[in-house]
Structure 1
């Protein structure tokens, strides 16, 4: 019984890690998207 509880807690911890990584990825994705959009104007002149 104790081992099951430990496993459940471990799984919950991993789920939280995955969630926080997903949030971070989405944040970075938006950040990159903004940089690309702002770059299009200045970069197109350089190419």
Structure 2
């Protein structure tokens, strides 16, 4: 499992039909990161 200093996530849109949360989890589990930055449009409450 590769170690990285930071992972930047943007435009995830959790809560929408097009969201691929399972793929996101697979991606996140494949790295060891010191920091995970959530940039914007992570959750859509009104979707």
Structure-2-length-normalised TM-score? 0.29
Indicate the structure with greater helix content.
1
Indicate the structure with greater strand content.
2
Structure possessing the higher radius of gyration over alpha carbons: 1
